[in-house]
Every structure is written in C-alpha cells, then in structure tokens.
Amino acid sequence: MTDYEKYSLAIQMVSYLTLTIGLVVAVIQLWQLRKQRTSEHDWNRRSKAFEYSFSDDPEMLQVLTRLDMHMKVSSKKSSEIKLDEIERLSKSEYPEIKNDIHFALARLEYMCTAMKHSVADEKICRDLLENRAVAFFRFFHQYIDDIRDRRGSTKIFRNIEHYAIKWASKNNFEERRPTDK
C-alpha cells in the first residue's frame, strides 16, 4: 500500500467518523428540541388556563357579582332558575340579566372549547372553575334549552354541557405533582 493510499484511507475514516458524530449530534439536538417544544406547549396550555380564572377580569367579576346579588347563583348549587323568573327580572329590577347570563356562559363556553382543542389544560381549568361551570350549567339549564329551541341549534353551549356533566359525575379530585404530565 502506498503512502497516498494510506493518507486517502485515513482521510476517508476521519470523514466517516466526523459524519457519524455529526449525525449523532443532530439526532440528539432534534430530540432535545422536540422535548423543549413539548414542554413549552404544556406550559402555554397551563398559562392559558389561568386566563379563564375570572380573577383578572374586572368586567367578569362585576357580572358575577350582579348575577349573585339578584339570583344567588352561588348559594343555589342544585336548583335551576325558571324562565319566567328571568323574564320578570329583565322587565323590572335587572334589565341586563340576559346580557350578563350570556356573557358568563360564553366565557365558560370559551374555556371549555379551549380545553376540547388542547389550547388550555383541562386539569387546571377543572381545579379553577369546576364548581362554577357545573353550578352555572345546572342553574341556567332551562335558559340554555330555551336559547337552543329559539335558534334551532343544539350546538349552543354544548362544550360547557359536556364538561359540566363530565365533572359533575366525578366526585374525586386527581392529585398530581407539578412535574407530572
């Protein structure tokens, strides 16, 4: 074997070794990038879930205060309001009742839609607003059915209905560490 062939063989071996190391590093970087992207996605879902807590929205807090003041939503966990009572309140002492009900139910519906499409984390939303979502769905069930009948669509507030029924049927709370997936 000549010196030229030896040098050529050594250069080929170094090239293959460099290529192999490069491929291994690329695979490791892609794996770490995927892991980081998944972690960021989970973090964004969890932080998005906190936007539905209603604690940072003064308008929502005012709506909830007015609804609770006139109808005692939070103290009537199992009962529902009749349509004639909503009509009576809208014509007398609380004319903006329908707007407030729609606003509160729409915000809960947006939260449930975000959970359905994995934009918001269901476990965090459940911990934050499970009782409110179930109570509002039960309390305004006749009103929701009336809206569905008048508009001829069963899709109105279907996500809040799905999660309210799902959450109401589960009495146990899942425990998890912050690092669990």
pLDDT, tens digit, 9 for 90 and up, residues 106-150: 999 999 998 898 888 888 888 888 888 888 898 899 999 999 999
Q: Residue 152: left if φ>0, alpha if ψ -120 to 50, beta else—which one?
A: left
Where residue 181 falls among pLDDT bands split at 50, 70, 90?
very low
Angle between helices 97-116 and 158-169 (to 10 degrees): 70
Pure H helices in the chain: 3-50, 58-71, 83-91, 97-116, 122-139, 141-151, 158-169
What is the rounded average pLDDT of the residues 64-71? 86
Alpha-carbon span 101 to 116, nearest angstrom: 22
Alpha-carbon span 141 to 71, nearest angstrom: 14
Where residue 34 falls among pLDDT bands split at 50, 70, 90?
very high
**pLDDT at res. 13:** 94
**pLDDT at res. 76:** 59
134 in Cβ contact with 164 (< 8 Å): yes
**pLDDT at res. 176:** 43
Q: How many CA atoms lie within 13 A of 112 on its CB side?
A: 24
What is the rounded average pLDDT of the residues 96-104? 91
Alpha-carbon span 82 to 125, nearest angstrom: 28
Using the predicted structure, report yes or no on whether residue 172 has a pLDDT greater than 60. no
Q: Mark 53-85 as b/e (b = at least 16 C-beta within 10 Å).
A: bbeeeeebeebbeebeeebebeeeeeeebeeee
**pLDDT at res. 180:** 47
Count CB neighbours of 121 within 10 A: 21
140 in Cβ contact with 105 (< 8 Å): yes
Using the predicted structure, report yes or no on whether residue 173 has a pLDDT greater than 50. no
> 24-33, 41-50, 83-92: lowest mean pLDDT where?
41-50
**pLDDT at res. 177:** 45
123 in Cβ contact with 180 (< 8 Å): no
Using the predicted structure, report yes or no on whether residue 82 has a pLDDT greater than 90. no
Using the predicted structure, report yes or no on whether residue 83 has a pLDDT greater than 60. yes
Quote the DSSP letter at residue 75: T
